[in-house]
Every structure is written in C-alpha cells, then in structure tokens.
Amino acid sequence: MRTNDIENREYYQITLDVWMEMKERLKRELLGIKQSFVRIGYVLRQIDDGKLYERDGYKSIAEFAEAEYGLKPSTTSRFMSINREYSVDGYSEHLRPEFADLGRSQLEEMLMLSDKDRQMIRPETSREDIRDLKRFNRETPEKDAADDIRQLVERFYYDNPGILNAVFSEPAQDDERANTKKMKEIINPGGSRSYRKGLFFLMMYENKIAIKKFGDDPWEMTWEEFIRLTADIFKDAAAGPRTWQTYFEEELEKPDSEPTKEIAPAQKSQESTKTKAKQTEKKEPLKSAKETEKESGNAAEEAGNDAEESEKVVSDTGITEDKGRGTAVEKSDAVSTQREAAAEIMTRKAYIDKLTLEAAAFYICNEFTNRRSLTVQSLRCLDDTKAWLLAKVDENGREADVEENGGKQQCRN
C-alpha cells in the first residue's frame, strides 16, 4: 500500500545548482507580483493625470476603475500611492531596488511612514511592528518613562527580567565578538523584535539596532554599544540569575531565569494589570508599564483605525500574501474578533490550503528565507517535510506554542 512504502521510497534529490535556481526563480516570481502593483498604479496615474476617463463618460479615476475593473475607490488610491512612493523616480512602472526584498503587505503598511522611518524596516520586520511604529508616531509619548537611551535600556530589561538574568548568568568571554554574538542570541533570539517605551521606539535586528526618538529621525546603534551600555548600567548589581531582583530591589512572582517569551497583544492587558498592582508602591521612575494598559484600553479604537488605514489592495484582485491579516472589522467588534483569531489553530497544510497560489508561494519562501522553519535538510526528508506541514500554526501561519509541535522526525540514513 502507498502508506506503507515510506522506507522504500527514494527521496527527491536535487543538485545545489538546481536548488539555487529554484529559489531564484521563486524570488523573481514574487518580485513580479510586487512589480505588477507598481505597474497598475502607474497606468492608473497616467489615466488620472490625462483625465482619459472622460473619454468614456466618467467623472473621476475612481468612478472609472470601479465601473471598468471592479476596484473600490480606496483600492485605486492605494495602487496609485504605491506607485508614487515606491517606483523609480516616483513615476514609472519599475519598483525601486531598495524595496525589492520587502513584502507587499509591508509596502502597504509603510505608505504612512516617512522616507527616514522606512529605513528602519527590514524584510524580517513584522507587519504588526510597522503598525506599532505608526501608532508611536501619532500618539503622545508617556512622560518620564524613558527620556534618554540609558533609561530606555534600563526599562527594556525591567520589562524583560528573564533576559537580564540570563545575560548576567553567562560567563563573559575575552573575545568581544564572541561575547556579543552570545548576548545577541539571548536578547534577540528570533532575529527581529521591537520595543517601545517613553520617547523611544527601537527595532532589534541580527546586525543592528534601529532607534527612533519621538519627533526625530531614526538612527542606528551597534550591538557592541548596546551590550557595553548594559554592562555599565548593571555592573554594580550583577548577581547572575538574580541580577534583576538585585538591581530593581523587587522579587518576581515566580522564578524567571530564562528569557521571557514575547507577550501576545491579547495577553498584554492581563500582564499589565499584575505589573500595575506590584508597582504602585515602588519608586516613581519604575512604575508599571502604562503603555500596555493604554494599548489594551484603546484596543477597539486602534484595531478599527489600523484596519481601515491598511485596507488590503488584494480585496479586489484575489492576490493575498498572508490570509487572516489586515481584515477590516467594525470597531465595536474589534476585541471579540481578536480573541477569536488568537484561538484559531490549524495545521500548516490547512493554512496553506486557504491561500491563493501567489500567497502560498510567498509564505513558503518566507518560511525558508526569514523564519527558517523550513530548511534544505527537511525538504530532503519525507518525514520532516510531513512534520512541517502538520505543525500547528495560528491564523497568520506562525507556529503555535502547543505540545503537538514538540518534536520533528528524523530521516533514516
């Protein structure tokens, strides 16, 4: 039977040259999708600038595009904005090279950012991090939460006690490069994360840290500088797995010697409530993380605003990059919709089956190049490939933290 002949089946073997060509071909196809959005916007702008729609009796480009092609006015506007912002010279059918590695959804989210702020975005930047940066730009910063870089670093570790304790539990190495590499793995294990506090918003990447102060242009800090500042701040309180407790003169509710996990937006309200109760009796500079309370308190309003602001171009084209993201919801239903989405768990195969061909291709490529959940070794092994397809993921295609994802099968030699 077909289900019982796995051991006798020959795995699909390809040469390195063939594999590299497959990757390059997929990259070209994905780039072609983004190029098409730029070209569509270019043609629409030409029609609009020349008022060519009047030849067919239409009063505007929006009326023309909706009647002729079924495009909503907001979609037509977004096509044109994408061309204006990302095409060569701002008016052509070619995508600027510096945006070639970014996904279409990232380009859409970046429309409301300045050119300087766009330099903070990398291919591994999540869509939610871009949205958070936009919220940071339009909201009034929390006073006295983090007014300078030193206080920003201190607050980062206050909100991540497990990371601080893990950093000072590692023996320092004489080689600064090796020491920096080890610290990066502890502080930023996923290769990309953001943190927002007071006047500052930072994005951590593998090779740099991008920092923006409210109202100013962003700049970059090296990991060496960040780690030296860490050592200087906590040098007098270094106590291995109890460095956080020693420095901040508090006790954790439970032992936390490992780096803390990223807190999902839906969990922030509950976590911030605990933090607030603990901090009310502490010194003023280290009060509880008010911004998480603010975020949860305004969740419905922000969800409505962001969904409307980032309406997907693909609603009328059938092309979608990551099913389940960016869907517009009514403000009154925003919180319940978030809770339902957070609980939606499925196999990766079921998630891929819901995508269009273009979106599935993008997702698989992104899992290989950025998230690294898919490797050459796993593609050479039938059992590993099956395990990857059967892994549990959330509504965005990210692996869920469930017991079913415990172990991968190994190929037999």
DSSP 258-311: SPPPPPPHHHHHHHHHHHHHHHTTS-GGG---HHHHHHHHTHHHHHHHHHHHT-
| Residue 401 confidence (pLDDT) | 59
Structure tokens at 392: 């549990």
| pLDDT value at 413 more than 60 | no
Q: Which of 197-201, 279-283, 330-334 has the highest mean pLDDT?
A: 197-201
Mean pLDDT across the stretch 268-293? 43
> Please, are residues 216 and 117 in contact by the beta-carbon 8 Å criterion?
no
| Residue 12 confidence (pLDDT) | 57
Rounded CA separation 338/267 (Å): 11
> Please, are residues 187 and 167 in contact by the beta-carbon 8 Å criterion?
yes
Give me the amino acid identity at 377: Q
| Residue 226 confidence (pLDDT) | 96
| pLDDT value at 67 more than 90 | yes
| Residue 176 confidence (pLDDT) | 84
| pLDDT value at 299 more than 80 | no
Which candidate, 37, 42, 65, places its Cα nearest to that of 53?
65
% of the chain beyond a pLDDT of 70: 70
Residue 205: pLDDT band by 50, 70, 90 thresholds?
very high
Rounded CA separation 320/355 (Å): 7
| Residue 342 confidence (pLDDT) | 46
| Residue 254 confidence (pLDDT) | 60
| pLDDT value at 104 more than 60 | yes
Residues 6+ apart with CB under 8 A from 212: 117, 120, 133, 136, 200, 201, 202, 218, 219
Q: Which residue has the higher pLDDT, 377 or 137?
A: 137
| Residue 173 confidence (pLDDT) | 75
Rounded CA separation 62/64 (Å): 5
Phi, psi angle pair for 104, to nearest 5°? -60, -40
Reduced to 3 states (helix: H, G, I; strand: E, B; else coil), residue 56 is helix
> Please, are residues 409 and 384 in contact by the beta-carbon 8 Å criterion?
yes
| pLDDT value at 289 more than 90 | no
What average pLDDT does the structure give for the chain?
A: 76
Give me the amino acid identity at 10: E
| pLDDT value at 408 more than 60 | no
Strands 219-221 and 209-213: antiparallel
Mean pLDDT across the stretch 61-68? 94
Q: Which residue has the higher pLDDT, 132 or 172?
A: 132
Reduced to 3 states (helix: H, G, I; strand: E, B; else coil), residue 359 is helix
> Please, are residues 392 and 346 in contact by the beta-carbon 8 Å criterion?
yes
| Residue 2 confidence (pLDDT) | 47
Reduced to 3 states (helix: H, G, I; strand: E, B; else coil), residue 396 is coil
Complete DSSP assignment for 376-393: HHHHT-HHHHHHHHHSEE
Q: Cα separations (Å) of 329 from 110, 112, 324?
A: 20, 20, 12
β-pair partners for 212? 201
Residues 6+ apart with CB under 8 A from 134: 109, 112, 113, 306, 309
| Residue 27 confidence (pLDDT) | 72
| pLDDT value at 85 more than 50 | yes
Which candidate, 169, 179, 171, places its Cα nearest to that of 245?
169
Complete DSSP assignment for 201-259: EEEEESS-EEEEETTS--EEE-HHHHHHHHHHHHGGG--GGGHHHHHHT---SS---SP
> Please, are residues 248 and 283 in contact by the beta-carbon 8 Å criterion?
no
| pLDDT value at 137 more than 90 | yes
| Residue 30 confidence (pLDDT) | 64
Please write the tens of the pLDDT for every residue from 184-203: 999 999 899 999 999 999 99
Residue 371: pLDDT band by 50, 70, 90 thresholds?
low
Strands 346-347 and 392-393: antiparallel
Rounded CA separation 123/313 (Å): 20
Residue 31: pLDDT band by 50, 70, 90 thresholds?
low
| pLDDT value at 324 more than 60 | no
| pLDDT value at 292 more than 70 | no
